[in-house]
Copies of this chain bind each other. A is one copy, B any other.
Amino acid sequence: MSALYQKHRETLDKAIDACNKRYSWTAYPESPSSKIWGQEPPLAGKARFESMLGKHYPSQQPGEIGRTGAEISPYTGEPLGITYPQMDIDVLYGAISAAMPSWRDATPQTRIGVCLEILDRCAAQLFENAHATMHTSGQSYIMAFAGSGANALDRGLEALAYASKAMEDVPGSATWERQFGKGGAARLHKRYRIMPRGVGVVVCCATFPLWNGYPAMCASLATGNPVVLKPHPAAILPVALLTTVAREVLAEQGFDPNLVSMVADTRDEPATMPLLQHPQTAIIDFTGSPRFGQWIERNCSEKLVYTETAGCNSVVIESCEDLPAMAGAIAHSLCQASAQMCTSVQNIHVPAGGIAAGDGHASFDEVSAALVEAVDRHLANPQVLCGTLVDEAILSTVDRYRSLATEHGRLLRDSAPLDYPDFPNARTASPLMLEVTDASRDLYRDEIFGPVSFVIKSESAEACLLDATTNARECGAITSHVYSRDEAFLDRAEQAYNNAGASVACNLIGMPINFAAAYSDYHVSGLNPAGNACLADLAFVANRFRIVQSKRMGS
């Protein structure tokens, strides 16, 4: 058994157990508090991040033909000034080819051990990753430490747990013996080998660079495939940090570091297509826009494709126990990471006649007002919750929907810049909230990336549910919420969402409702347009390897 596998085995076993039983567990603490870490690591992480600014990011990848990268901090508006290798793809792929055989021939446990060590070392650099994520993706420090940090590492470990289960299902060898006619017994010794498919390209998104980065890398690498990480041009540094760690661990273990590499680019000179279309690319993991995701699903039919994109996540409100608590929970989703999460709520469906709330009744307008108030309450200290906008274009999106408000209904809450004392130039926008009726459904049936949401008036709770679930089925949904005190309605809502291919959460309050728990929540169903893959299930890993066998007749 490999030493690294041995070292981390307990963690892996615990992860497998958590996946099987789906209770709450984490291998990586998600709080950056110095009460946990001590004073020094947070400061050291920040210092390491700052030491990288304005420099060539160190890299030893074969095929470097120049430098690229044009990241700009959404907090300062200033370029990070870090350059990354610009790659000659064919030279890189040539080096990857040379690296493959020894990795293919290593045991699954050896490969899993290497992946576990990579995750472990990434956990030790969560502070620099947090600053890197903050100044590229624009997340708040706390969110950057957790969401694209510790939580994403848990997703990586979860993917490893499934890869381990799927590979364990294949025995190494067997003896097989039977009679054929009267000719005596045939006795065969059989060996079964797990074989990789080829290069796995992992296309990371701008907002949560490593949310799929860790799991996709782990799933492909553990099953024997080399991995090429393709960061979004806006968020290269977090991916570069992972790449460096992975290459270090591989090299230390006597493997070719080119088993993990990174191809960075800029918006002006994109490098994604040559990677997707390279004949040696066998697997594509994509997180990003629904449009590009669907293009890949349709046009890369000779590759295995795993996508997570986005949908128009909904809330259906039928009734509630505690209006301010419910409004607070929903408003949290509208604010968190400026609604740039794949789990952010966009469409809030409320019956025109209002709802039963607590001991009384709340009119449609009262529900809307409660939501607006709750958003305003969350904005008391916006920096931690909202972070910044990853992309300038989101400001135009906000403007566009503001201008549509009167035509389709009314502006419930206007968006405005947020004030971050530490970062006077931060690119920010508070939630824009529109009230519309379901006659305007064309307006809200797409994912609108950024802090734009709709309170949608429908004739009844059933009409709300029908609209929301139809949109989930046809336009995609990653999270969906229902609030109701009526058990029968909750049952119907669960059925309706599930049958639309969407998961659903009921009556969540007092917690961040965007939260998806590794080892417990199957993230993305694969049954609606918001993606074809799930973090993580057996289907996420079982086809990344194939099985070949050899059999020999005994004497």
Q: Is the pair B543, A190 in contact by a Cβ cutoff of 8 Å?
A: no
Q: Is the pair B301, A527 in contact by a Cβ cutoff of 8 Å?
A: no
With A183-B511, A184-B510, A510-B186 as known contacts, state yes or no: A527 contacts B539, CB within 8 Å. no
| Interface membership of A462, Cβ < 8 A | no
- Chain B residues contacting A512 (CB-CB under 8 Å) are 180
- Chain B residues contacting A509 (CB-CB under 8 Å) are 553
Restricting to A163-214, which residues have a CB under 8 Å from any CB of B? 165-166, 169-171, 174-178, 180, 183-184, 186, 188, 190-193, 195, 197
Number of interface residues of A (CB under 8 A): 73
Q: Is the pair B497, A22 in contact by a Cβ cutoff of 8 Å?
A: no
Q: How far is the CA of A546 from the CA of B530 in the complex (A)?
A: 13
Q: Is the pair B165, A169 in contact by a Cβ cutoff of 8 Å?
A: yes
Q: Is the pair A506, B553 in contact by a Cβ cutoff of 8 Å?
A: yes
A503 to chain B, nearest CB (A): 5
| Interface membership of A547, Cβ < 8 A | yes
User: Which residue on B lies nearest to A177, using beta carbons?
Assistant: B24
Q: How far is the CA of A190 from the CA of B516 in the complex (A)?
A: 12
A33 to chain B, nearest CB (A): 11
- Chain B residues contacting A551 (CB-CB under 8 Å) are 503-506, 508, 521
The oligomer's copy count stands at 2
- Chain B residues contacting A515 (CB-CB under 8 Å) are 180
Q: Is the pair A508, B553 in contact by a Cβ cutoff of 8 Å?
A: yes
- Which of B22, B177, B186, B502 touches A192 (beta carbons < 8 Å)? B22
Q: Is the pair A547, B522 in contact by a Cβ cutoff of 8 Å?
A: yes
| Interface membership of A20, Cβ < 8 A | yes
Among A192, A499, A546, A552, max chain B CB count under 10 A is at A546
Q: Is the pair B506, A552 in contact by a Cβ cutoff of 8 Å?
A: yes
| Interface membership of A431, Cβ < 8 A | no
User: Which residue on B lies nearest to A537, using beta carbons?
Assistant: B547
Restricting to A511-555, which residues have a CB under 8 Å from any CB of B? 511-512, 515, 517, 520-522, 525-527, 534, 537-539, 542-543, 546-553
A90 to chain B, nearest CB (A): 21
With A170-B537, A175-B23, A178-B24 as known contacts, state yes or no: A548 contacts B521, CB within 8 Å. no
